[in-house]
Amino acid sequence: MATKKQSGSFTAEERAAMKERAKELKSASGEQDVLDKIAEMPEDERAIAERIHAIAKEVAPQLAPKTWYGMPGWARDGKVAVFFQPAAKFKSRYSTLGFNDNAPIDDGDMWPTSFAVTRLTPEIERRIAELIRRAAG
C-alpha cells in the first residue's frame, strides 16, 4: 500500500510523481524516456508495459511516446491520452492502463477510463489494441 498520508498532505510516492511531472514539463520527453521508465519496472510489470508500448506503436503510430508523471504514456496532439501506471509506482494492488479525457473512448453515458492489468492474454491484448486505436482518434 502507498505510504500513509496525513490529512491534507501527499504520500511520498505522490510527491515524487509531481516532481517527475515538473521535470517532464521542462524537457521534451520521448520514446527513450518511456523505454527508460519501462526498464525501471519490476520484471512482471515491465513485460506488460513493453507489450503495451509495442501495441501502441503498431495500432496507433500517430501517438507519440511521452512520459507522464514518471509513467509511460502516449500523446495525442501533445497531450497524453493513454498511460500505463505500474503497481509499484504507488504501491498499488495492480497496474492500470488509463485514458485521459482527450482519448475518445466514449461508450454511451458511462464508460471506464482505467483498467486493471495483471497479465496479458491474446484476448486482453486485442482489447488493449482496440482501446488504444480508439484513443488515437
Average pLDDT along the chain: 93
Cell of 66: 511521452
What is the CB neighbour count within 10 angstroms for residue 102? 15
Q: What is the pLDDT of residues 51-71, one digit of tens each?
A: 999 999 999 999 999 999 999
Q: What is the pLDDT of residues 76-96, one digit of tens each?
A: 999 999 999 999 999 999 999
Cell of 80: 497524453
DSSP-assigned letter for residue 60: -
**With 50 as the cut, is the pLDDT of residue 1 above it?**
no
36: CB partners within 8 A, 6+ apart:
none
Q: How far apart are CA 64 and CA 57, in angstroms?
A: 9
Domains along the chain?
A: 12-135 (3.90.1150)
Mean pLDDT of the region 7-32? 83
Mean pLDDT of the region 15-38? 86
Query: pTM for the whole thing?
Result: 0.84
Q: How far apart are CA 101 and CA 36, in angstroms?
A: 26
